[in-house]
Structures are given as C-alpha cells and as structure tokens.
Amino acid sequence: MDSSEPNRASNAAPHRKWVIAAGIFFVILAVYVLSSPGRIDIVDGQARYDVTYHWLLEGRPVVRDLMICHFMSVKGRSGLAYSYYGPAGSVFAMPLVWLGLLDDDPPGETSRFLFSLTSSVFGALVTVVLYLFYVELGLSLRKALAWATMSSFATLIWPAANSTFDNAQHAFFVITALYLGFLGAQRKSRLLAIIGGIAAGVLILYQEYFVLIIPGLAISTLSWPRAEAMANRQDHTQGRQHHGKRLTFQLKRAVQAIGSLIRVACQRAGEPRECCLRFLLFLAATSVGAALSLVYNNLRFGSFFQNGKVIFATQRGYPLLGNPVAGFLTLLVSPGKSVFLYSPPIILAVWGFRSLWRRKPEIGTAVVAVTTVLVLFISCISFAGGDWCWGPRYLVPLIPLWALTFPFVSLKGRLRRGLMLALLTTGFVVQVLALSVENQRFFFERGLNDFFWAEDSWFYFKHSALFARLDEAVSLKDGLPASARWFNSTPVDGWSTYAVLGPPLRIPRRMAPQWIRQRKVFYLPKPWPIWMWRLKPDLRPINIEAWLGGACGMALLGIALIFRGFQTPVRIRTPEERVLEQRVGS
C-alpha cells in the first residue's frame, strides 16, 4: 500500500485524531469483550486473581486458594504462600475485581468474570497506540484506522486479549514505550522520553527478563542524522544489484549512525547530544519499575533478589533452560508453534520492513534489536512455547512492533495485492479458530503431563494445536457428549468462571481423554455470550441481557465517534501559518 501521501491529520482540527482514537478503543473493546471466554482460562490467571482478591480484602498479596496454592505459589515471609509472578498483572486488574466484589453473586463469580476482561482492555489500547503511531509515521487517518483494525483481528493480539495470560498487557507497554520514545525524538522532548522509559519499566513488574529489551526500545528516542537517511536511500537504489547484501548494508549504516551520534555528542552541544540525553533519560526512568520490583520481592520473600521462580522450578522438578536450537525453530517454523502460522500477516512485516527502515531507521533498528534479543532469550528456555496456551504467546509483545511495517508493503501488481488479502483473511480465520474452543482440550485429549515440553523439546514438530483445532471446531456441531455432567472441572458445583483444572491426582493422566468428556466446558463454544445461556439464571455471574446491550451500545458509541472524527471539517493552513509553524518548530 502506498503510504507516501501527506499526513492529513496535521491539517485537521487538533482533536480530530483523538476523537477517532476514542472510537477505536470502544469498538475494539466491545468486540474483545463479546468474544471473551468470560472466565479465567488458565491456572496462571487464577493465581493472579487470587493475589488481586486478597490484596484488596487483606492488604497483602497472598495466595489462599487451596485448590491452586500447592502448585502455583511459594512459601515466603511468615510462612505465607505468595505467587511467583510480578505484581503488575494483579494490580492492573484491581479496578475490575473491585467492581465485581460490589455484587459478587454467586460468590467469586462476578469478580472472576470481570478479572478475565483485564487483557481485553489492554488489547484495545494496543490498537489505539498502533493507530496513533501510524499517524505519526505519515499515514492518513483512514489508512491508520484500517491497518490498526486489521492488526487487531488478524494476529495473535486478539486471542491474547481474550486470555487471562498477561501477554497482551506486555504488548501494550512495549508498543507504548516505543511510541513515546519516538514521539520524544520527533518533538525533541525529554519529558516524553522519560514517560516512555517509565512505561518500559512497567514491563519489569511483569517479568524481569524484559530488562533485556529495554535498551532496544530506547533506540526510538534517537534522531537519525539527515545525511544518514540520505545514505540509506542511496543504499536502497544501489542495492537493487545486491539483494543479498542490502540488509547487511542497512545494519552497518544503523551501527554507524549510532556511533556517529555518540561521537558528535561528546564533541559539542546540539541535537546529537540531546539524542543521547533522551536515550539515557529513557533508560534511567525504567529504574522506577526495577525498584518497585525489588521492593515487591522483599515484601514477599524477605530478599530483594528472590522472586520465587527458581524455587518453584526446583520444587516442581523441571529445568529452566532448554535446547536453544529446538526453541528457536519451534517459534519460527514448527507446525505447532510457528508465529507465522498463528499470525500469517507477520509475513507482511518481513515484506515491508525494508521500506519502514528507509523512512524511519531509528524505528527499524529498535524493532530489530528488540526482536533479536527477545526471540533468542525465549528460544533458550525450556518452556519456549509458553504452555499450556494457544500459539507462541511469548512473542505477542513483538506483534505490534512488526505491525508497524504493514502499511509500508509495496502492493504494485495484482499478485501482491492478492497475496496480502490472502494473508489477512487467513490470519482472521486463525484467530476465530483460536476463540472457538477451549484451548486445553488439545492437551487433555492427548493425556499430556504438566511439563510435557520439558520431556520433549521437539514436541511441536510432531503435534499442532492449530491443525487439531479444525476438527475441534467442527465437533461443536455434534453438541455435548452424553457423559457431560458438569460445566467446569472444579469440585465446587455451579462455578463457571473458575480456571480449568486437570484430573484429580488419583486419575492417571492417560485417562484424561475420558475425564474431559464429563465436562461441558470442553465441548461448548468458547465466547461467554454462547455458553452462559446454558447455565441456570441463579448461577450466571452476570446479567447476560444487560451486558450484551452494554457491549453493543459501546460499539455503537465507538462507531459514532469514528464517523464524527472523519466528518470534522479540515481547515487548510495558510502559507503564513505554515511559515510561522516552521519557525516555532525550529
């Protein structure tokens, strides 16, 4: 798609893009809420919910749920059980859980339902930031809206936003940190660089390993020298005869540009020194998240550097490190976890990346740096697939970064346009499949052990949840098995929003395929507006009619705001105003 046209947002009323951004948020959030499972879909989410629940009621982030305490917590201060997860996933869910506690009937059901929507809010915010980023990169408002929407419904962002795994939340802070850093460079603003660094620091409050990608995100605060951008364009022209060397040339130019900035900044004041200062301020601001993470460790375990993860791995008897070759190939090319299979439009990122790099080399360099570091790190851990889950969830934070390249794909020719349409359509179908059936059905039908990924690092070259999902989705037309007696797997009759747990310890895992046929949750469509009607009215966590009406009303409000934003008259600036703006900007 040709994205060289002028950015029309600059000529519009100042609030125009923000009205559209608000509309995008409401529409995407409504769709994400309506397609959500409406329950905690994984035991990791149940642990985070329990921390949120008791933090609100007791003022301490403890785990007291006896059904998950023995395998989702570690003993800490005063012999209390604490989750080994960071605090962010529980803290950001507090407003929703608090609202649920106001009328938690049946007990725990409403608050768990609302907790399950936390990532939906962040997923919708990812779309908003992508839209604003596209506008800053020079796209028209309409094209920015179109590509942000396609990125939201044709990639793993959608199922991640419908899960109580917190990877969609990671994605929001990654793209926000990059956006604010870039905006700081565009506006020559130290404050924006600091706020971007704070956003990046929040990632440490989820998982400490995100500290590895923070320097890559900080590259967005740099302004490439104008001569360097011209050299990049010259390389592109000459590179037509050197296709295999073009990427090497660009990498070399990126390294040279950074080196040039540092050298000039040390010699004299000016923009190069400001670039380096913004970069350092960005990094310094991340210390806020790092400090809070250390304080949280000390609160739980009496040590600033003990987070419970190593203790848990030792107790459960699985290795933290795995086969890096198997992990790398699993994430990229395996039939079971390849990011290109679970998000086909990512192929467009490879296709359009060079064009983005020529336009904004600092963004291209940041994306390459963050991608390289995160993919290599995830490849080295034994649970690279992030199981039990749908797709390579640990790569979800990278998807908004790759989505920045989508609008810059060259579509000259019918074949290219057809290929792009095929990739987007396939991506949408894959995400609909992801939302159709309970994810854990795949694992239980094969009688897998909890840590099967540690037993066979090449598992996903032999099995694929994506390919199995076709049969699982088709089987929904057969209805419930005659043996299905309970909705969920929990021992409390009537609970529907509690996480799915495996068979009791007395039942061998090889018997799991028979065990799940007694549970309705594995054979009903996953979105809550479908399965919740089957519950007795007094067992429903919410008023279904009211929630459906509210979600549809929110979607209509969003559509109205988007139309209003596009209908706002565009005022063309006079030549005198443009000259004045240039003087103010300089």
Q: Cβ distance 294 to 304 under 8 Å?
A: yes
Give residue 354's pLDDT.
85
444 has pLDDT over 90: yes
> Is the pLDDT higher at 2 or at 338?
338
Task: Tell me the pLDDT tens digit for each residue of 91-112.
Answer: 999 999 999 999 888 889 999 9
235 has pLDDT over 60: no
146 has pLDDT over 50: yes
Strands 81-82 and 74-75: antiparallel
How far is the first Cα of the chain from the last one, in angstroms, to the nearest whole number? 32
DSSP letters, 80-97, are -EE-SS-SHHHHTTHHHH
- Please count the CA atoms within 13 angstroms of the CA of 222 that sit on its side-chain side: 30
218 has pLDDT over 60: yes
**Mean pLDDT for the chain overall:** 87
Give residue 227's pLDDT.
38
Give residue 280's pLDDT.
93
Which pTM does this prediction carry?
Answer: 0.90
Cα diameter, the chain: 81
559 band by pLDDT with thresholds 50, 70 and 90: very high
User: Once rounded to an integer, what is the mean pLDDT over residues 358-363?
Assistant: 89
Q: Cβ distance 221 to 282 under 8 Å?
A: yes
CA 139, 140, 145: angle at the middle one, nearest 5?
90
Among 5-14, 72-81, 265-274, 322-331, the range with the most confident prediction by mean pLDDT is 322-331
1 has pLDDT over 90: no
Q: Determine the Cα–Cα distance for residues 354 and 351; give it in Å rounded to an integer.
A: 7
Q: Cβ distance 174 to 128 under 8 Å?
A: no
Give residue 438's pLDDT.
94
238 has pLDDT over 70: no
241 has pLDDT over 60: no
Interhelix angle for 226-238 vs 346-359, to 10°?
A: 120
For the ranges 62-66, 195-199, 235-239, 425-429, which has the lowest average pLDDT?
235-239
581 band by pLDDT with thresholds 50, 70 and 90: low
Torsion sign, CA atoms 52, 56, 57, 58: positive
Give residue 410's pLDDT.
77
2 band by pLDDT with thresholds 50, 70 and 90: very low
Per DSSP, 77 falls in state: G
270 band by pLDDT with thresholds 50, 70 and 90: low
Task: Tell me the pLDDT tens digit for each residue of 8-38.
Answer: 444 445 588 999 999 999 999 999 999 999 9
Domain boundaries, the chain: 1-429+530-586, 441-529
> Is the pLDDT higher at 413 or at 435?
435
198 band by pLDDT with thresholds 50, 70 and 90: very high
Q: Determine the Cα–Cα distance for residues 179 and 167; give it in Å rounded to an integer.
A: 18
Instruction: Express as a percent the part of the chain with pLDDT over 70.
Output: 86
Give residue 528's pLDDT.
96
How many CB atoms lie under 10 A from the CB of residue 462? Answer: 10
Rounded (10°) CA dihedral 261, 266, 272, 277 = 110
Q: Cβ distance 408 to 352 under 8 Å?
A: yes
Task: Locate 99 and state its tokens.
Answer: 């609202």
CA nearest neighbour of 378 among 324, 439, 437? 324
Q: Determine the Cα–Cα distance for residues 548 and 536; give it in Å rounded to an integer.
A: 18
User: Once rounded to an integer, what is the mean pLDDT over residues 123-151?
Assistant: 95
